[in-house]
């Protein structure tokens, strides 16, 4: 058997600054994605305990972790990644598709303003870093279920960066960050079946050496992960993804967010990167 790990490149961790929201009011009281079943019980205290583990992992990795106060009646506010998109101290606010989540947009923009970011109020419907990912100097931008395609032009104008539009076709992977994981400045992992053929061609061209995850790992939101360039925090059940990461020189760290998965979110959904 060939030892692939011996040939793996050295990976370098970079300190990350992130925003999180404690799930004090998490529950599933409505259905806006295939993961949500309001008829099934949820355990808020378990969601908090699992989130606390993720929070502690970030602290142990020496991340600079900021917290936004949760708001009664906004159970999905824990999914901080959807609250905006931040590059170069510019915070592009979110404008949510579903009425149930729309109050989150102003709440996050208020936090950005209070913490010194240059806030841009969106004109187009978008769900923040759920559908915008920065990699290789470009912005990968998802559409198909939540974020309007017109927002891609808005983001390009605000940040002056190339935007690569990607069309999602599987409702279980309704945000880009459920179907693509950014591993470092130049590398990604993704699920091919989440995209239409033209989007797949873009991904194959831009990232010919990308990690291709299994359907099984994607089904536990294994791709909804967060990396500092070396340490990659992933769903603990995404075992083949874990194996592939190790073979490529990354350090996967598994975490169980099964309760928050009931709302359709995982590690990345709980994590908004703040790029000053």
CATH assignment at residue 128: 3.75.10.10
Which residue segment(s) compose the domain that 50 sits in? Answer: 14-273
Planar angle of CA 113, 115, 118, nearest 5 degrees: 45
- State the DSSP code for 220: T
For tokens 């169980």, the residue is: 256
223 lies in some domain: yes
Tens of pLDDT, residues 185-198:
999 999 999 999 99
| Global pTM value | 0.96
pLDDT digits (tens, 9 = 90+) for 117-159: 999 999 999 999 999 999 999 999 999 999 999 999 999 999 9
Q: Is residue 56 part of a domain?
A: yes
Q: Is residue 3 part of a domain?
A: no
- The C-alpha angle with vertex 188 and arms to 252 and 98, in degrees rounded to 5, equals 95
- From 55, 152, 175, 270, active-site residue: 175
Domains in the chain, number: 1
- Residue 8 included in any domain: no
Nearest to 200 by CA among 140, 260, 251: 140
Residue 198 lies in a domain: yes
Selecting among 21, 152, 269, 270, the annotated active-site residue is 269
**How is residue 145 annotated by DSSP?**
S
Active site residue 175: yes
Question: What is the phi/psi pair of residue 65, to 5°?
Answer: -105, 120
Tokens encoding 75: 């159970």
Q: Is residue 60 in some structural domain?
A: yes
1 part of a folded domain: no
Q: Give the whole-number percent of the chain exceeding pLDDT 90.
A: 96
Token pair of 215 as six digits: 């359907």
Structure confidence at residue 8 (pLDDT)? 86
Residue 270 to residue 259: CA distance in whole angstroms: 12
R_g (Cα) of the chain, nearest Å = 17
Encoded tokens for 45: 């205290």
What is d(CA 82, CA 132) in angstroms, rounded to the nearest whole number?
Answer: 9
**Residue 13 and residue 228 in contact, taking contact as beta carbons nearer than 8 Å:** yes
Active site residue 270: no
Residue 7 inside a domain? The answer is no
């Amino acid at each position: 058997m060939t030892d692939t790990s011996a040939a793996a490149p050295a990976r370098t961790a970079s300190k990350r600054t992130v925003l999180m929201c404690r799930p004090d009011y998490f529950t599933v009281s409505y259905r806006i994605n295939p993961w949500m079943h309001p008829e099934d019980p949820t355990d808020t205290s378990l969601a908090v305990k699992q989130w606390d583990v993720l929070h502690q992992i970030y602290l142990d990795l020496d991340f600079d972790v900021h917290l936004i106060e949760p708001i009664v009646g906004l159970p999905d506010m824990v999914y901080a990644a959807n609250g905006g998109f931040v590059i170069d101290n510019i915070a592009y606010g979110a404008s949510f598709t579903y009425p149930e989540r729309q109050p989150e947009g102003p709440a996050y923009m208020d936090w950005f303003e209070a913490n010194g970011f240059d806030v841009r109020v969106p004109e187009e419907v978008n769900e923040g870093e759920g559908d915008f990912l920065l990699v290789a100097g470009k912005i990968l931008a998802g559409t198909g279920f939540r974020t309007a395609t017109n927002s891609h032009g808005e983001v390009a104008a605000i940040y002056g960066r190339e935007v690569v539009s990607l069309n999602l076709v599987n409702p279980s992977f309704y945000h880009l960050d459920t179907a693509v994981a950014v591993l470092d400045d130049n590398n990604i992992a993704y699920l091919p079946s989440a995209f239409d053929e033209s989007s797949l061609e873009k991904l194959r061209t831009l990232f010919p050496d990308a990690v291709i995850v299994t359907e099984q790992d994607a089904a536990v939101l294994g791709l909804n992960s967060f990396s500092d360039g070396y340490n990659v925090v992933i769903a603990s059940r995404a075992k083949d993804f874990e194996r592939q990461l190790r073979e490529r020189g990354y350090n996967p760290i598994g975490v169980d967010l099964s309760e928050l998965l009931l709302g359709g979110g995982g590690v990345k959904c709980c994590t908004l990167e703040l790029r000053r």
